Amino acid sequence: MTATALPRTRGHARPSPRRPLGIVPTGVLVLGAIYTLFPVSWVVVAATKSKAELFSTSTFAPGTGLLSNLGDLFAYRDGVFWLWLLNTVLYAGGGAVLSTAVSTISGYTLAKYSFPGRGLIFNLLIGGILVPSVVLAIPQYLLFSKAGLADTYWSVLLPQILHPYSIYLARIYSQAAIPGSLLEAGRLDGAGEWRLFRRVALPLLTPGMVTIFLFQFVAIWNNFLLPFIMLGDDHKFPLTVGLYTLLAAGANQPSLYNLIITGTMLSLIPLIALFLTMQRYWRTDLSGGAVKS
Amino acid sequence: MGSPKKGARAGRAGAVPYLFLAPAMALFALFMALPIGYTIYLSLRRTKVSGLGLGKGARTEVFAGLANYAAAAGDGELWAGWLRVLAYGALVLVLMLGLALVFALMLDAAHVRLARLTRISIFLPYAVPGVAATLMWGFLYLPSLSPFGEHPFLSTDLVTFSMANVAVWGGTGFNMLVLYTNLRAVPREYYEAARIDGASELGIALRIKIPILVPSIILTTVFSVIATVQVFTEPTTLRPLTNTISSTWSPLMKVYRDAFVTGDLYSAAATSMVIAGISLVLSFGFLRVVKNHAFGEG
């Protein structure tokens, strides 16, 4: 991966002749990493502080209040925080599974079949990328209200299944990963189209599907506007809306800060864990798509 | 959008492609086309109050023409919101995409150390919800908690910068990864050839890598513009911590207030159409301008 240093670079005044120029990029990246890790490490340390310590001890001195903070958070309104966490897993997990399924079969069809109207359908579906969510969220709420479905799990789950960018990615993956000859051979053997999709296309598309799933999972997990508009009952809130209401209730009461900080810290853990364990998929498949686009 | 193996099996598959696309098209119709149509419809309507506005049938919905749009165009608070978002958006776009580009080039530099660790760290905020990011920074901005001393981060003068910082923090990593991934796809021989010709690393970055990245930079810019025009989460979440952010700070916040607080759905619909129109014009306009410049030669 790294190119070998050519001897001629030794002529320049550099600290280490074996690694010329290494200091500048490494230094810049380390500064960037410090900037990004700073608030995360602050919230982790702050969550360990008791109410008194939060305002008195120095910023990065760990405190002694972690357990009581956790206790307070889980006792808050009969443990509604757990419910928010479970709801978020349900919205993000369920929504991402459905979205991945719809995106995969749509992308595959748009990549591997020719049929009248293909260009039009592709442009319609992909054009959705450019539609701001605001134009959708409020009328979606009104329409859900008319159908009697506002303030239900469905109202948050259903609008997030169709995801134009995922369809676009699935189409790129299908073009790159599925040889047309393989499908032709299957057809000559008499396989039906659905069987071809299940047996030939799906196995080849699996790594791409994991990437689409991850993107959707994170997007739904992080979404604030849609559940904020759709939901009124705080037992159906996801974490983002729950944390917001916690802040709105506690911003003027510094005694509630510990609760908000601990809740924020806990809300980071699941996604960061998922993100670190799935590193491989973020990298390889993004580049797999990029090469072919 | 080229077709692979054009017409290879047209006709043979019959109705199958339409069946396979049916779920996506149904979702599109229900959750995209219908809401957009409904917004347009609402934006052209208004409530007509007869008599004292009491009793059944006293309030009826009537056609309003473009009156709601005219009201939106003449709304001083909305214009002020646009100006605030313009300042905020310019800061975010320049800083976020600038940093993303610098980090991507540094990751791709020939002799970088700690690349994996720093790449994961800088990408990490992608996994942090906007609400959580705003809460963390919001507390760091509070004079009683801030490790930076008593700076008035949330004062009228600085609140735009403070909010832009949250967006830059959250968005740089993703854009960096998109650009870096593109760079990794470039054959290393390109650079070897340039090095043999005596090009410096900086020269390679400026003359070879950045031109290669131009299409990706355009794409990330368009997506960032769309996201910025609709900024909502960060100001809404910061609001409880300061009185310098009004309930109509950004145009989208005004739409929310009109729709759900003051109950004027019709002007909310008109304003959201204006927001949609502006983000479409901005993205297409930007694409057009850069197309002439960037792709004119190639």
Contact B163, B234 (CB under 8 A): yes
Residue B1 and residue A229: Cβ atoms within 8 Å? no
| Residue A2: count of CB within 10 angstroms of its CB | 13
* Residues B24-39: tens digit of each pLDDT: 999 999 999 999 999 9
Instruction: Tell me, yes or no, whether A119 lies in a domain.
Output: yes
Instruction: Tell me, yes or no, whether A173 lies in a domain.
Output: yes
| Distance in angstroms (rounded) separating the CA atoms of residues A174 and A171 | 5
Instruction: Tell me, yes or no, whether A159 lies in a domain.
Output: yes
Residue A25 and residue B109: Cβ atoms within 8 Å? yes
Question: Which residues on neighbouring strands pair with residue B47, listed in sequence order?
Answer: B61
| Distance in angstroms (rounded) separating the CA atoms of residues B21 and A106 | 5
pLDDT in the model for residue A174 = 92
> Looking at beta carbons, which residues of chain B come within 8 Å of A243?
131-132, 135
> Looking at beta carbons, which residues of chain B come within 8 Å of A268?
127-128, 132
Residue B129 and residue A36: Cβ atoms within 8 Å? no
Task: Report the residue of chain A nearest B40, measured CA to CA.
Answer: A135
CATH number of the domain within which A126 lies:
1.10.3720.10
pLDDT in the model for residue B57 = 67
Least confident of B46-50, B101-105, B272-276, B278-282: B46-50
Instruction: Tell me, yes or no, whether A19 lies in a domain.
Output: no
- pLDDT tier for residue B152 given thresholds of 50, 70 and 90: confident
- Cα distance from B240 to chain A (closest Cα, Å)? 5
Q: Which tokens hold the place of B181?
A: 């991934």
| Residue of A114, A163, A168, A285 to mutate, testing the B interface (most B Cβ within 10 Å of its Cβ) | A114
Which class for A164: exposed (0-12), middle (13-18), buried (19 or more C-beta within 10 A)?
A: buried
pLDDT in the model for residue B121 = 93
pLDDT in the model for residue B230 = 86
Does the structure show a pLDDT above 60 at B8? no
- Cα distance from A78 to chain B (closest Cα, Å)? 22
pLDDT in the model for residue A3 = 44
**Residue A243: which of B8, B110, B132 has the nearest Cβ?**
B132
Residue A33 and residue B1: Cβ atoms within 8 Å? no
Residue B122 and residue A218: Cβ atoms within 8 Å? no
- pLDDT tier for residue B52 given thresholds of 50, 70 and 90: low
Q: How many domains does chain A have?
A: 1
- Cα distance from B148 to chain A (closest Cα, Å)? 10
- The reported pTM is 0.85
| Distance in angstroms (rounded) separating the CA atoms of residues A51 and A258 | 6
| Distance in angstroms (rounded) separating the CA atoms of residues B217 and B149 | 37
Residue A113 and residue B16: Cβ atoms within 8 Å? yes
* Residues B74-130: tens digit of each pLDDT: 888 899 999 999 999 999 999 999 999 999 999 998 788 898 899 999 999 998 999
- Cα distance from B111 to chain A (closest Cα, Å)? 5
Residue A162 and residue B195: Cβ atoms within 8 Å? no
- Cα distance from A229 to chain B (closest Cα, Å)? 8
pLDDT in the model for residue B54 = 65
Buried b (16+ CB within 10 A) or exposed e, B255-290: bbbbbeeeebbbbbbbbbbbbbebbbebbeeeeeeb
Contact B103, A212 (CB under 8 A): no
Alpha-carbon distances, residue A178 vs A173, A195, A201, B6, B276 (angstroms): 8, 15, 6, 16, 37
Instruction: Tell me, yes or no, whether A257 lies in a domain.
Output: yes
Residue A138 and residue B201: Cβ atoms within 8 Å? no
Does the structure show a pLDDT above 80 at B218? yes
Residue B139 and residue A276: Cβ atoms within 8 Å? no
| Dihedral in degrees, nearest 10, Cα atoms A85, B147, A276, A49 | -50
How big is the A-B interface in CB pairs under 8 Å?
298
Domains of chain B: 78-294 (1.10.3720.10)
Instruction: Tell me, yes or no, whether A46 lies in a domain.
Output: no
- Cα distance from B201 to chain A (closest Cα, Å)? 8
Alpha-carbon distances, residue B32 vs A139, A149, B231 (angstroms): 10, 17, 20
Residue A239 and residue B129: Cβ atoms within 8 Å? yes
pLDDT in the model for residue B102 = 96
Residue A286 and residue B178: Cβ atoms within 8 Å? yes
| Residue of B5, B42, B123, B124 to mutate, testing the A interface (most A Cβ within 10 Å of its Cβ) | B124
Alpha-carbon distances, residue A41 vs A44, A60, A261, B99, B140 (angstroms): 5, 9, 12, 21, 12
> Looking at beta carbons, which residues of chain A come within 8 Å of B165?
none
Residue B109 and residue A21: Cβ atoms within 8 Å? yes
Is pLDDT larger for residue A107 or for residue B285? A107
State ipTM: 0.84
**Residue A167: which of B24, B34, B280 has the nearest Cβ?**
B24
pLDDT (tens place) for every residue of chain A, 293 residues total: 444 444 444 444 444 445 455 888 899 999 999 999 999 999 999 999 988 888 877 777 888 888 898 998 888 888 899 999 999 999 999 999 999 999 999 999 999 999 999 999 998 888 887 777 767 888 899 999 999 999 999 999 999 999 988 998 899 889 988 998 999 999 999 889 999 999 999 999 998 899 899 889 999 999 999 999 999 999 999 999 999 998 888 877 877 888 999 999 999 998 888 888 887 776 544 444 433 33
Least confident of A237-246, A247-256, B159-168, B197-206: A247-256
**Residue A267: which of B121, B129, B192 has the nearest Cβ?**
B129
Instruction: Tell me, yes or no, whether A40 lies in a domain.
Output: no
Residue B7 and residue A109: Cβ atoms within 8 Å? no
- pLDDT tier for residue B281 given thresholds of 50, 70 and 90: confident
Nearest CA-CA partner of A31 in B97, B247, B155, B122: B122
Instruction: Tell me, yes or no, whether A59 lies in a domain.
Output: no
Structural domain boundaries, residue A167: 73-292
- Cα within 13 Å of Cα(B15), Cβ side: 2
